[in-house]
Amino acid sequence: MQRNVYILIMLLFVGNYAAWGNPVNFASTRYGLTFRSHTVNQDERTSLDLSPEESFNLKPGFSMSFDLQLFEANLTYGYVFRIILDEISSFDLITNLNTEKLNYVLSKSGRILKNCEFQCNKDSVTNRWIKIRIDVEENGIRCMVDSTMKIISHSLEGFENIKISFGKNRYSSFYTTDVPPIAIRDLRLYNNEGELIHYWKMQQHNRDEVFDLIGGKRAVVENGVWDIDGHVKWKHCISIPFSEKNVQIACDKEDGIIFIASDKYIYKYNIKSDQIEKMEVKKGQPYKAGGSQLIYDRVKHQLISYSILNDSLIFFNFNNGEWPDHPTEKLAVIQQHNRFVDPLTNTLVVFGGYGNHTYNAELAIHELDGCKWKIDTISSLLSPRYLSSIGNMGNGKFLLMGGYGSASGKQEEFPKNLHDLYLIDYRNLSCQKLTEFPAEGPIVYSNSMVIDSLNNNFYTLKFFNDRFHSSLSLFSVDLRNFERKSFADSIPYNFLDSESFCDIFLDKLTNDLYSILLQEKESGFYSVDVYSLSYPPLNWTDILQDKYLDNEVDSKRIVYLLLAGIGVSLILLLYFFFRPKKKVSNITTSNFSDKDTIGLINRKQFSAIYLLGGLQIFDSNGNDITQKFTPVIRQMFLFILLNFIQNGKGITSERLDETFWSGMDKDSASNNRNVNIRKLRLLLKEIGDITLKNEKSYWLLDIGSEVFIDYAMIISLLLEDKLSSNFDSRRLAKILELASQGILLPNMITDWIDHYKSDYSGKIINFLLEKSKTVEVQRDLVSMQKIADIVLLHDDIDEEAIRLKCIALYKLGQKGLSKSRFEKFRSDYHHLLNEYPPFTYEELIKKL
């Protein structure tokens, strides 16, 4: 036991040291807090409250500065900030870009004292950060916008009780919902001697709060849009539908234009303006044999279609809208090949592909000003393949990663996924194998990779090629040690071999990564989808803020924490090795043994349906198939499942039609229902022993014992407890483990599901609060804390739950955490109800 404690402490210490020693470099990331404005209703607009728990005491004066960005919109009037002094006076910055004005307004008891106006030319202030600063003293205020300064002369008081908010606020008579379309960053607060006392960078953050980097003061954010989140989550930019397959795609990476060529039109999508142009093709068409591709000649600004089977490149004429005539193309043998244009030599380089049941390892070169292909094979140096990723390294060299193929090139001779990385020189046909990555399963890659020569790494997309409903995931490879790093967010992708295509590139104008998908949405219908991600990419864990640690502003704190960590570790070691034996008190940390909870920690991932904390469905082989359930099928399935679990009854066809196809005539609704039920039945087969059947005109589910459903399990346990008169610690442990996963289907918002959500919340809250009164739980502080946490998941201002939480923490010796948790509850309570809770923390603890 002692040895295990020692190892645990050292691992925690070393792990924390490693985390502190390898901070994320945020130098090139976008950051700031963007405010949702008049385009949404008042409840969804943004607020930033710098004083949610207690007012500032800034006597005898203070300064505040920040960067401000103004955005164009139909409605632009609103409050940038409001400073309230002693709940009597207010000082506001109000902007209205449409009238090209910024106004500093001082008022007292509803009477305007001063209105200081700045003119802001729309063309000169949009799309850039403006410097805002105020210096507030007892005899007046110095106001600055960039380098322009004006002074408001007026005596001020109330510096001991100051509240500061940005955007929307709910401070009694000072409330406002007028929020302008703005963004702010680098918000600093100084005392009257010019010393920086608070600094909210608006970069790392938590869900609804951000801490200042000087003293850890908490600010509360409601409905905010964090600019840095664009480095984590892919944004869907556009979807363009097509009724033909194998439309061709090319990119102008310098000017941010994506070209798409179909039989009848040329589409130009401008990334920066988010505008699309469509030009009719008057004559001709590009090569169309499936192995053809489109490229953009940056030097001559030409759109080029090519085929490996024809020496002639064809150029689209933008002046007359015509493609030139070209020979009829046979079925290409290089479908899903890789290609890039070497800008130094103006040469098109093509590698690999698939066709006629054969994988390819040919390297084809064509000068854009030339008239003939130069084709060589390098199959003796690497396995023929397709679905690889390629990246131009310059000087005639390129990287090639992975793919799918076989050593002989023949499809019948054991094809497999490839996980290698090569450096190839197309000038002398040399090929160097750099590494072999550990196998990750049936993984292949996007057509291109993005090479970051400055940081010596590259990025590409990977996806499973053994399924139609796949997804694209971004990852990077460090070229110094070949370590891979995955990024959490993914993009849904329907992979259908040669009828689909995906690529990635870095736009130099916006410094964003763009992924382009060609995929089949429905049978015979296709779309080109474009997604963007701010560069460099980050993970969610990179942008979450630690209240107590910031290596950019207060590096000394790291040293203090490291020294403290060493000291604490030594003390703990001495304590565990030399502590005297003690009698067990009547208050325990957990009454439930390890045996009670075994099997609950490890989440089952075979034939399982999880509804608590979010929908997740696993098939009988352990694969996550949640994305296979389209929105309509997903809702229909849950509609039948929830009703069956709660009532044990089926659903009529008429009720399904009313819920999901109410706007259709009877025949159309019936057809849609039948199609989706057929699809649902096929998906249920993948899960395992669960079938959808129709009995006496009612649709209901037959669920075998091998299929695990967390919601069904917890409803069964609650009913079992209701019928029992004895306290069962094992049953309570199971319920706590299940309920702690989250509320019922939190991400699904539709009218019919509200009843099930509220019913479940009511049941679990009543059950847990009832159990909290038992002697067994009163003696078990850990269980008491779990009960409080679960109740607060469902109702974050439940008074009884916060009592349990604070008492448990206090008795466990975490008194500071107990107090701060109550203060957060008090703030949330006031924020929601505009009044404070009927008891104080001191009253709560006094009863112990």
- pLDDT at position 25 over 80: no
pLDDT at residue 332, as a whole number: 66
CB atoms within 10 A of CB 321: 15
- pLDDT at position 576 over 70: no
Q: What is the DSSP letter of 129?
A: P
What are 311-370's pLDDT values in tens digits? 999 999 999 999 998 877 766 668 899 999 999 999 999 999 998 899 999 999 999 998
Give per-residue burial for 177-194: e unless 16+ CB within 10 Å, then b: bbbbbbbbbbbbbbebee
Least confident of 140-149, 157-166, 702-711, 747-756: 747-756
Q: Mean pLDDT throughout 662-667?
A: 81
Query: Which residue in 329, 376, 336, 331 sits closest to 353, CA to CA?
Result: 336
- pLDDT at position 594 over 70: no
Q: What are phi and psi of 623, to 5 degrees?
A: -85, 140
Query: Which residue in 119, 81, 82, 79 sits closest to 100, CA to CA?
Result: 119
Q: What is the DSSP letter of 695?
A: E
pLDDT at residue 603, as a whole number: 54
User: Secondary structure of 511-567 in the HEC alphabet?
Assistant: CEEEEEEEEEEECCEEEEEEEEEECCCCCHHHHECCCCCCCCCCCHHHHHHHHHHHH
Distance CA 429, CA 352 (A): 14
Query: Which residue in 167, 134, 193 sits closest to 49, CA to CA?
Result: 167
Distance CA 329, CA 293 (A): 13
Domain boundaries, the chain: 2-23+553-578, 33-231, 235-537, 593-750
What are 611-648's pLDDT values in tens digits? 998 899 999 888 889 989 988 899 999 999 999 888 88
Residue 591: pLDDT band (50, 70, 90) is very low
Query: Which residue in 438, 381, 387, 390 sits closest to 415, CA to CA?
Result: 387
Q: Do 33-231 and 235-537 come out as alike in CATH topology? A: no
Greatest mean pLDDT range, 122-126, 185-189, 278-282:
185-189
- pLDDT at position 285 over 50: yes
pLDDT at residue 589, as a whole number: 40
Q: Residue 747, SS3?
A: coil
User: Interior CA angle at 220 toward 217 and 224, to 5°?
Assistant: 130
pLDDT at residue 813, as a whole number: 82
Provide DSSP, 424-451. Answer: EETTTTEEEEEEEPPP-SSEEE-SB-EE
- pLDDT at position 592 over 50: no
- pLDDT at position 471 over 50: yes
pLDDT at residue 547, as a whole number: 58
Instruction: Enter the CATH code of domain 235-537.
Output: 2.120.10.80
pLDDT at residue 454, as a whole number: 87
- pLDDT at position 724 over 90: no
- pLDDT at position 31 over 70: yes
Beta-ladder partners of 420: 436
What are 495-514's pLDDT values in tens digits? 998 889 999 999 988 899 99
Give per-residue burial for 556-586: e unless 16+ CB within 10 Å, then b: ebbeebeeebeeeeeebeeebeeeeeeeeee
- pLDDT at position 564 over 90: no
pLDDT at residue 509, as a whole number: 85
> 140-145 and 130-137: which strand pairing?
antiparallel
Distance CA 827, CA 845 (A): 18
Element containing residue 29 per DSSP (H, E): none
**745, 630 Cβ separation under 8 angstroms:** no
Q: What is the DSSP letter of 781?
A: H
Residue 488: pLDDT band (50, 70, 90) is confident
Q: Residue 218, SS3?
A: strand
- pLDDT at position 441 over 60: yes
**281, 322 Cβ separation under 8 angstroms:** yes
Unique residue bearing structure tokens 């930019």: 237
Look at the alpha carbons of 261, 266, 271, 275 in this order and tell me if their dihedral is positive or negative.
negative
Unique residue bearing structure tokens 């909870």: 597
Residue 804: pLDDT band (50, 70, 90) is very high
pLDDT at residue 4, as a whole number: 42
**615, 634 Cβ separation under 8 angstroms:** yes
DSSP H stretches of helix in 579-665: 594-597, 631-647, 653-660
| Among the four given CATH numbers 1.10.3720.10, 2.70.150.10, 2.60.120.200, 3.40.50.12240, the one describing domain 33-231 | 2.60.120.200
Give per-residue burial for 818-831: e unless 16+ CB within 10 Å, then b: bebbbebbbbbbbe
- pLDDT at position 842 over 50: yes
Instruction: Look up residue 519 and give its two tokens.
Output: 């995929």
Instruction: Look up residue 816 and give its two tokens.
Output: 């500071």
Mean pLDDT of the chain: 86
Q: Mean pLDDT throughout 655-669?
A: 85
Distance CA 490, CA 517 (A): 13
Q: Residue 75, SS3?
A: coil
pLDDT at residue 127, as a whole number: 81
Regarding pTM above 0.85, the answer is no
**76, 95 Cβ separation under 8 angstroms:** yes
**369, 361 Cβ separation under 8 angstroms:** no
**459, 478 Cβ separation under 8 angstroms:** no
- pLDDT at position 689 over 60: yes
Q: Residue 52, SS3?
A: coil
Distance CA 371, CA 314 (A): 11
Query: Which residue in 703, 704, 767 sits closest to 735, CA to CA?
Result: 767
Distance CA 166, CA 92 (A): 10
- pLDDT at position 227 over 50: yes
Residue 658: pLDDT band (50, 70, 90) is confident
